[in-house]
Structure 1
Amino acid sequence: MDWLDRFHAAVDYIENHLDDKIEYSSVAQAACCSEFHFSRMFSSILGISLSEYIRRRRLTKAAFDIQTSDAKIIDIALKYGYDSSDAFSRAFKKLHSVTPHSVREKGVQLKAYPRISFQITIKGDVELDYQIERMETELRFVGKRQSVKTSRAFKEIPALWRKSNEDGFKQALIDMSWVSPKCKLESLVGICGKEAAITDEVFDYFMGVRYDSKPPSDMEEIRIAPSTYAVFPNVVDAWKRLYSEWLPTSGYELANQPCIEHFLGPGHKIKHELWVPIIEK
């Protein structure tokens, strides 16, 4: 199943469950992807979150139901996941700018958000910088892990780094870095889970540095087997261009190794990198 087929399978799942409970993990599974990565892909490519897309589609379908049936408003609200008519009315008016009851009046203008469809657009106006790094030896990292909710990773991970700066943990890692440099992952790193396919509701985010000596008593170590990585500058922008431009036509797919956010020190032209584990298709 190629990249486009995976996304269309996920959209099929959503469309078939608009009047049922939608588990984000099941949507990601339909795309043969982890929930963590799928949510990043979706929001990066579309510019809206997965939850917002589902909300818009449900309220679009609800408007059609109100127009074409005699069903009670509360029944339609319950059908699309709203516990009360008041909650449904608020959400409906926010999207359509009219109340659900007014839909059955003639001449009412509504907004329809159609089902999305994915296609690859070939772009050549802005180059995409990347490099392939093959780590031939096992890498040992020392630091601390924190539990992160998969659905809130975008907010929780930056908060962890802010806290580490305030309590001195970040500086401790900086002092340990470059003790025995032997590869290009020598600054601060954030290692996401145990492998690229994060399917659980909670995963471990490991904040640390590459370090070969005995770890301090308040830290632990993890090891990553020899792997091949695609390395992209600028973590925030890298996710969008990775999935929409690079991965679909690269001849690679994600490997079962952790993704690594690499934060470089002062003096580097590039502030941070995204290291994505890959294997040839």
Structure 2
Amino acid sequence: MIAVLNRLVGLIEDRLADEIDIAGLASSLGTTEYHLRRMFSSLAGMPLSEYIRRRRMAVAAADVLGDGELLSIAVRYGYGSTEAFGRAFRGVHGVSPGEVRRHGGPLRTQPQLRFRLTVEGSTPMDTRIIERPAFRLVGHSARVPLIHRGANPHIQAHIASLPAAEHIRLKAMSDSEPAGLLQVSADVEPDYTEGSELTYLHGVAVGETTPVPEDLTTIEVPAGTWAVFRTSGPYPASLQSTWATTATDWFPSNPWRLRPGPSIVAVLDRAADFSTATCELWLPVERA
């Protein structure tokens, strides 16, 4: 995967002045757009779309410092007007093209990325690969912003709004793996941008034929392969660390890639105050 990402960066560099077809590039590199965007975001610390924007504006700055007309420069980089180009330029550099032309700066350069694999592997990951028939995820859902680190207060508020009896009712419905009450993230954008909205579902897994009450949200999950990672320790820090390590260590070292679908966290055991927990992280995968 590291080699694929470096080849992607090179291909993007050759196309900065053109419309970039990420799906087409992913196909030519032997992977999927979904997996490519998720791995890029996890390893680069920024969405792929943001990296392209920053690189475009970094390269465009050299043209702005020249004598060419700003409209011609805007069109060259895919913008229909100097106003649209100016907004994008200011978003990266903090100043307008006109100010840069008059004063020579300031400019914020986005270097061309290079991905390297740091071989550590001192802590083995407790992982299993399983095939699952189609099942359903049912429960109470809410649209919440994505937060990469720390507890998500929007999710906490959603869970706290459910009466204790509802947790008991949901848990009694569970009749399929993953077992017990689940934390489900669905409809996550491929770039995994912090602050973007996702569907969070607090619920359980049930079989395809299990009756579902009308007051519950249902997410249909097709048959497929899952990578299941077990983690124990401070919550949610240990779980979030494991999630990050799947991108930095596990996927680059194994012949699997992410496929579209919900990610699921099953809490197997926890302290009374939820300060520590043992969890399973279920990620939908396919052979690379």
Return the alpha-carbon distance in structure 2 between the equivalents of residues 32 and 153 of structure 1.
31
Partner of 1:262: 265
Distance in 2, Cα, partners of 1:110 & 1:205: 38
Match of 1:143 among 138, 145, 148: 138
Letter in 2 for 1:18: L
After superposition, give the CA deviation of every residue in 1:176-221 in whole Å (9 maximum; x if it has no partner): 225566655322242647xxxx89xxxx968441235422244557
Uncovered stretches (5+) of structure 1, i.e. residues with no partner: none
3-state SS, counterpart of residue 263 of structure 2 = strand
Counterpart-to-counterpart distance in 2, 1:159 and 1:242: 24
Task: Specify whether residues 80 and 238 from structure 1 end up closer, same or farther in structure 2 by C-alpha distance, changes over 3 A only.
Answer: farther
Q: Which runs of 5+ in 2 are unaligned?
A: 192-197, 232-237
Residue 50 of structure 2 corresponds to: 52
The secondary structure found in structure 2 opposite 1:42 is helix
Aligned to 1:210: 205
Which has the higher mean CA deviation after the structures are superposed, 44-53 or 158-167? 158-167
- The 1:256–1:163 alpha-carbon spacing in structure 2 relative to 1, beyond 3 Å, is same
Are 2:174 and 1:176 aligned?
A: no
CA-to-aligned-CA distance 1:217-256 (integer Å, 9 cap, x gap): 4455746547452325455444432122111113x31375
Distance 1:98 1:179, change over 3 A: closer
Q: Would the aligned equivalents of 2:178 and 2:266 in 1 still touch at CA under 8 Å?
A: no
Name whichever structure is richer in strand by fraction: 2
Question: What TM-score do the two structures reach when normalised by structure 2?
Answer: 0.67
Could you say what secondary structure the match of 1:264 adopts? strand
Q: Which amino acid is the alignment partner of residue 76 of structure 1?
A: I
Percent of aligned pairs with the same amino acid:
25
Secondary structure in 2 aligned to 1:112?
A: coil
Contact 1:247 1:253 (8 Å CA) reproduced: yes
State the shift of 1:11 in Å.
2.2
Say which of 120, 124, 139 aligns to 1:123.
120
Partners of 1:115 and 1:227 lie apart in 2 by 35
Change (3 A) 1:71 1:243: same
**TM-score normalized by structure 1?**
0.68
User: Structure 2: how far apart are the matches of 1:62 and 1:24?
Assistant: 21
Q: Closer, same or farther in 2 for the Cα pair 1:141/1:110, shift >3 Å?
A: closer
Aligned to 1:38: 36
Paired residues, what number?
A: 265
Distance 1:95 1:226 in 2: 41
Identify which of 57, 62, 65 aligns with 1:64.
62
2:194 paired residue number = none
Do the aligned residues in 2 keep the contact of 1:188 with 1:262 (CA within 8 Å)? yes
Counterpart of 1:73 in structure 2 is 70
Q: What letter corresponds to residue 254 of structure 1 in structure 2?
A: R
